[in-house]
Amino acid sequence: MNIDERVVAGIINAVLDRLDDVSNPCADAGGGNWGVFESMDDAVEAAAAAQKKYLNCTMHDRAAYVQAIRDVVLNQENLEYISRQSVEETEMGNYEHKLIKNRLAATKTPGIEDLTTDAMTGDDGLTLVEYSPFGVIGAITPTTNPTETIICNSIGMLAAGNSVVFSPHPRAKNVSLHLVRLINRALAEVGAPANLVVTVSKPSIENTNAMMNHPLVRMLVATGGPGIVKTVLSSGKKAIGAGAGNPPVVVDETANIEKAGKDIIDGCCFDNNLPCIAEKEVIVVDSAADYLIFNMKKNGAYEVKDPEIIDKIVKLVVQENGKSPVTSFVGKSAKYILEQVGVHVDEDVRVIIMQTNENHPFVQVELMMPILPIVRVPDVDAGIEMAVRVEHGNRHTAMMHSRNVDKLTKMAKLIQTTIFVKNGPSYAGIGVGGEGYTTFTIAGPTGEGLTSAKSFARRRRCVLVGGMDVR
């Protein structure tokens, strides 16, 4: 698309948003505006009414609704608009990579085929165990993947027969509301019950709390940091928690070092390191370290050696508590971060690297920006032990580059992460250049792992006594 078409697409989308704000002839009785409600109570009640109607729809209908969500996101104009708006509104991430992530969510999130039925037959008859909906799900979404999470949760939750109330991050409000409206229009066009996917016009912590406490919300799904995961797990409701990570990469002397250097940089710089799965620190055996660093630099890494500049960057991007990143630097580019400390580099610099020890804040803090510390270890066993420590028991994601099957197995067993990528970039773990489906809600703390439709469903048994077996 050239610049003029982009401007036109932006104006059309902005006008549609404005029209929605003012009046919408299809607005429902609860005051909904293509799924966007003034009050959380109205949003939840509308979603509950929609889910009741949804129970009478066929699996064929469900498949059509899921396809409508995929199609509306894959419409090139919409895809470009939500990707650009995500970057502009949150001031995080990279437009080209958002395009890839949104397209990935729309194409590779499983639909109704995920809901497999178990059957047991015998002298006493036929018993079925099926995945059936929870009802209304409350889904809390992060700033780092605002649209990707709404796409992926909408597909999975609707495939499983639920309706969903979204509580987006306030800093991603406009793009999240826009996407909810797009999804509602697309669902209306294929005849779905209104309000299967809803949200509120002013997302806030108060509204999130109201959603979590509403008696009609049967399940909570939180994709975010440790605070919100803890909150949903304390709610007394069925909850899925997809929380923080701090993914280490271990490289040993048996690895293909040229490939490891490239894979690590490709994974680390993806969407400016926003994905919770992205490489956050490298642990390398001493004998392979120099060649690995050489190959990282060959692939767009810029090494900062001056300890004073490293300290300046620490002060800039890590909060005084030493535990959290400074939000205004999350998802910023390597070039931007370096410029703030007076270092000017070319556009092709994708990641800032430096050699540190294990206790350095860049190793310990989940930064979510393209800053990648490198720690040397004497041997691979020491590296695996360090990786387990710096992952902080999140059990989220880890990577290893090695050709030693025993050591790959050892690390996989000890680190216990939901995703463990061997000899590839982190994003291979969510289906980009690696086998398998995708998700943007990776539930380590509650154990669902890479969530899909069946994660949002209840197992129910249906027993027919006598007959129906044909053996």
User: Which positions lie near ligand NAD, rule CB under 6 A?
Assistant: 140-145, 167-170, 205, 208-209, 223-225, 227-228, 231, 242-245, 276, 366, 440-442
Judged by beta carbon, residue 141 or residue 426, the one nearer ligand NAD is 141
Q: What are phi and psi of 241, to 5 degrees?
A: -115, 120
- Number of Cβ within 10 Å of residue 73's Cβ equals 25
Please report how close the Cβ of residue 34 comes to ligand NAD at its closest, in angstroms. Answer: 21
Nearer to ligand NAD, 195 or 418 (CB): 418
**Cβ of residue 233: shortest distance to ligand NAD, in angstroms?**
13
CB of 336 to ligand NAD, least distance (A): 18
Q: How far apart are CA 355 and CA 378, in angstroms?
A: 15
CB of 273 to ligand NAD, least distance (A): 11
* CA 45, chain centre distance (Å): 27
For the record, the structure tokens of 432 come out as: 């980009």
By beta-carbon proximity to ligand NAD, the closer residue of 185 and 395 is: 395
Q: Which residue lies nearer to ligand NAD by CB, 145 or 295?
A: 145
With respect to ligand NAD, which residue has the nearer C-beta, 268 or 289?
Answer: 268
Block residue for tokens 């909810």: 180
- Minimum separation from the CB atom of position 394 to ligand NAD (A): 8
The b/e string for 247-260 (b: 16+ C-beta within 10 A; e otherwise) is bbbbbbbbbebeeb
Nearer CB in complex with ligand NAD: 274/351: 274
Phi and psi, residue 348, nearest 5°: -75, 0
What is the C-alpha separation between 116 and 323, in angstroms, rounded? 43
CB of 228 to ligand NAD, least distance (A): 4
Least separation in angstroms between residue 439's CB and ligand NAD is 7
> Which residue sits closest to ligand NAD, CB atoms considered?
224
Phi, psi of 200 (to 5 degrees): -115, 155
At what angle are helices 173-189 and 76-90 packed, to 10 degrees? 160
The long-range contacts involving 359-363, CB below 8 angstroms and separated by at least 24 positions, are 361/314, 361/318, 361/322, 362/281, 362/314, 362/318, 363/281, 363/390
d(CA 300, CA 265): 7
Could you identify the residue written with the tokens 């990641």?
A: 351
Whichever of 225 and 361 has its CB closer to ligand NAD, that residue is 225
